[in-house]
């Protein structure tokens, strides 16, 4: 079996080879390690291989890990992203512990986070989650609602809108996935005309990373390809 370090090197190599390398307006891609259901040992191994941005889906599980690493030499370097669905009653925990929230989809949660973000921390970086496949009962707003939510978020001083994220339906055909990624890129470009400082389009997981990068993703969220299958070890 490959080590986490080897997996990280392979993913980084794959990303580098997908980027156009002679363009003026160079696309950069941030690699986010999705560490849900992975142990602090696995995270430490990734940190030792220079991975510093991690993403979690479950608030309490994440906070246990965040507290653990706050007492290690990694405390200042590590960056935590919340990528799970967020209930209103958990918003304070996210506001107090995370650097990024990628699944913002309601004005009410935005307002709560703005009130709850401690003054001792920089503004919380947020992404609006788009339900790009228009699936019923799926988190995220519809594409046509994005301007309205962006206006709310940008009026709140303790939040910093960075861009958009989506989890498209898993089509077996790469062409279908690419179509949805390209729609996301269009929505992102249009929003960026109104808010030029937006810099993040969070798209792509282990299964569909190449298509996402080719369609303009600037942040990929990779779990399995770095850590192996989930659910084998709990701390």
Ligand X SMILES: *Cc1c(COP(=O)(O)O)cnc(C)c1O
Q: What is the smallest separation between the CB atom of 215 and ligand X, expressed in angstroms? A: 16
**C-alpha torsion sign, points 196, 198, 200, 202:** negative
**C-alpha torsion sign, points 75, 76, 81, 87:** positive
Distance CA 67, CA 71 (A): 7
168 binds ligand X (CB under 6 A): no
Selected binder of ligand X within 224, 232, 233, 235 (CB under 6 A): 224
Q: Give the residue from 142, 139, 143 showing the smallest Cα distance to 186.
A: 143
Q: What is the smallest separation between the CB atom of 161 and ligand X, expressed in angstroms? A: 19
Q: What is the smallest separation between the CB atom of 102 and ligand X, expressed in angstroms? A: 7
182 or 207, CB closer to ligand X? 207
Selected binder of ligand X within 8, 113, 205, 219 (CB under 6 A): 205
Distance CA 26, CA 104 (A): 28
155 binds ligand X (CB under 6 A): no
Selected binder of ligand X within 171, 206, 216, 228 (CB under 6 A): 206
Interface pattern 180-199 for ligand X (x via CB under 6 A): --------------------
73 or 229, CB closer to ligand X? 229
222 binds ligand X (CB under 6 A): yes
Mark the segment that binds ligand X (CB under 6 A) among 8-16, 87-95, 130-138, 222-230: 222-230
Q: Note the residues at the interface with ligand X (CB under 6 A).
A: 34, 36, 57, 83, 167, 205-207, 221-225
């Amino acid at each position: 079996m490959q080590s986490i370090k080897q997996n990280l090197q392979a993913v980084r190599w794959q990303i580098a080879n997908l980027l156009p390398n002679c363009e003026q307006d160079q696309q950069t891609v941030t690699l986010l390690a999705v560490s849900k259901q992975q142990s602090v040992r696995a995270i430490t191994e990734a940190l030792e291989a220079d991975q510093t941005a991690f993403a979690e889906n479950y608030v309490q599980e994440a906070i246990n890990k965040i507290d653990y690493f706050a007492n290690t030499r990694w405390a200042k370097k590590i960056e935590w992203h919340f990528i799970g669905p967020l209930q209103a009653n958990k918003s304070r925990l996210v506001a107090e512990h995370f650097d990024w929230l990628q699944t913002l989809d309601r004005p009410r949660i935005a307002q709560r986070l703005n009130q709850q973000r401690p003054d001792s921390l920089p503004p919380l970086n947020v992404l609006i989650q788009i339900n790009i496949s228009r699936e019923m009962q799926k988190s995220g707003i519809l594409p046509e609602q994005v301007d309205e939510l962006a206006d709310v978020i940008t009026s709140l001083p303790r939040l910093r809108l960075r861009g958009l994220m989506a989890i498209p339906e898993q089509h077996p055909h790469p062409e279908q996935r690419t179509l949805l990624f390209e729609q996301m890129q269009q929505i992102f470009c249009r929003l960026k005309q109104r808010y030029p400082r937006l810099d993040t389009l969070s798209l792509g997981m282990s299964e569909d990373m190449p298509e996402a990068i080719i369609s303009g993703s600037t942040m990929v969220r990779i779990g399995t390809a770095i850590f192996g299958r989930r659910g084998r070890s709990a701390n």
